Structure 1
């Protein structure tokens, strides 16, 4: 059965990578993963927003990509070393901080693709998203971290689990299974996974291939490719058969593909 996160929206899916920050917005100081960036993606018509989860010193899950604040705010401290109040002050003129709870509450029609970046955030993410599992996909480069979040959501006892995308170990197992042409190993690697979210290439290794797409689709798993900002690449990948595009320019992708 198709998870509600996928239902009712015809592929190709456009996932707004860390929200939407146009060149004009960036020039005005708006940062990725800010309240303003999520609002801009929503206003552009994006059904899906991809974001990242960290935990503050006082235990609040916030949407933020980096482990520390250096690149976004110039503050060298780690997210885990600042309170949510301090982070709100630092983000006040950068589009505003947005917590995970605020995102789910303020944008009730948006479907979130959440990458659990910090191990200590996994349980909190799972618990918070449990009541909203119909419109949340949980992922992480770490399959262990991803499964911890899913287990926390299940423990909250709110019905269906969030959708989920395989981590690095899962993707490696799928590619290895394809290399030895073992359908049994492919099926085992994809068990319990709703999507594979991958780059087209990892170094010199091609990840997104017709064989990968065919295998994933045989098992009811979608393939979403990150991070694609060129319209020609969007068309090429969709023509190849990918189900979703993760992009910094959701506005361009929506115009290009829909």
Structure 2
């Protein structure tokens, strides 16, 4: 509905009424936690506007990894217009373009969320099994430090496909929820994503690694998986569900939360099932 991982996107979600806002973070070369869906800057959601300084040999920045760029370089990017490589991108038809919208830092998002009482913050840390252990720990600690500075750890959950992040989150942000993300590729034979846990029983593996929530991709979310997780007292958060019929189906499965790009659609489905809705937050509260 709005450009992803941007302050206008979160503001719109809060004004619609959501329980939690979800975002993705990376770490710049100078150690700042910034938002973006992928580790490498994609031309689909980002465009260069000019170098951070004259003669910058790293320019253009799109196509490079966040870890190789400074905050000043990342802040030059325009995240306000989606530019898909195919004609069937569903978000082009529904997303309001907002030219010259920058990628925010996690601190900037926390400042907004400090004005949104009762709304949680779901922070997905983008790492992969190729990251050295010290880098995973440093990144997790950096995220926890920002959340702690705004007194938001108790309202936050840390998400990761790379379950080593969950181990570190238990150390650096013990009061935050820890969400074990899974999809088909992370459950393959010989997987390195699960921090040594066996993929045959994802719910048990998530519990054993110290997760407090299991979050499966929607294709993996079956009634049996929901029952297995609930038997271990693990809530189930299914992602990413954008069609109302699928939303309704997962409600009947008994999932505890649904991640969607279209909170307006989900609100209508929840209302149809007689379920409570989160209250919209008005602009004066947020601003």
**TM-score greater than 0.5 by the shorter chain:** yes
Higher relative contact order (CA 8 A, sep 6+): 1
The normalised TM-score by structure 1 is: 0.73
Identify the residue that residue 108 of structure 2 maps to in structure 1.
102
Separation of aligned partners in 2, 1:188 and 1:228: 24
Matched residue SS, 1:222: coil
Matched residue SS, 1:90: coil
Identify the residue that residue 167 of structure 2 maps to in structure 1.
147
Question: Contact 1:125–1:149 at 8 Å: present in 2 too?
Answer: no
Deviation of 1:141 after TM superposition, in Å, equals 0.5
Identify the residue that residue 73 of structure 1 maps to in structure 2.
46
Separation of aligned partners in 2, 1:257 and 1:172: 37
Q: 1:69 to 1:94 in 2, by over 3 A?
A: farther
Q: 1:177 to 1:117 in 2, by over 3 A?
A: closer
In structure 1, list runs of 5 or more residues that go unmatched: 1-21, 26-30, 155-160, 179-185, 202-206
Deviation of 1:102 after TM superposition, in Å, equals 1.5
Deviation of 1:256 after TM superposition, in Å, equals 2.0
Q: 1:235 to 1:100 in 2, by over 3 A?
A: same
- Residue 117 (str. 1) matches residue 141 (str. 2): no
Pairs aligned (count):
212
Aligned with 1:49 (options 17, 21, 25): 21
Of 31-40 and 105-114, the range deviating more from structure 2: 105-114
**Cα deviation 1:147-189 (Å, max 9, x = unaligned):** 22332225xxxxxx200112445599686248xxxxxxx6565
Identify the residue that residue 13 of structure 1 maps to in structure 2.
none
Question: Contact 1:126–1:150 at 8 Å: present in 2 too?
Answer: no
Separation of aligned partners in 2, 1:171 and 1:45: 35
Question: Contact 1:222–1:242 at 8 Å: present in 2 too?
Answer: yes
Matched residue SS, 1:65: coil
- Residue 256 (str. 1) matches residue 261 (str. 2): no
Of 237-246 and 114-123, the range deviating more from structure 2: 114-123
Bigger radius of gyration: 2
Bigger fraction of residues in helix:
1
Aligned with 1:190 (options 204, 207, 219): 207
In structure 2, list runs of 5 or more residues that go unmatched: 48-61, 80-98, 128-135, 183-192, 272-287
RMSD, aligned α-carbons: 2.5
Separation of aligned partners in 1, 2:266 and 2:195: 25
Separation of aligned partners in 1, 2:198 and 2:65: 34
Aligned with 1:136 (options 148, 156, 165): 156
Separation of aligned partners in 1, 2:255 and 2:198: 16
Question: Contact 2:144–2:153 at 8 Å: present in 1 too?
Answer: no
Identify the residue that residue 126 of structure 1 maps to in structure 2.
144
Identify the residue that residue 56 of structure 2 maps to in structure 1.
none
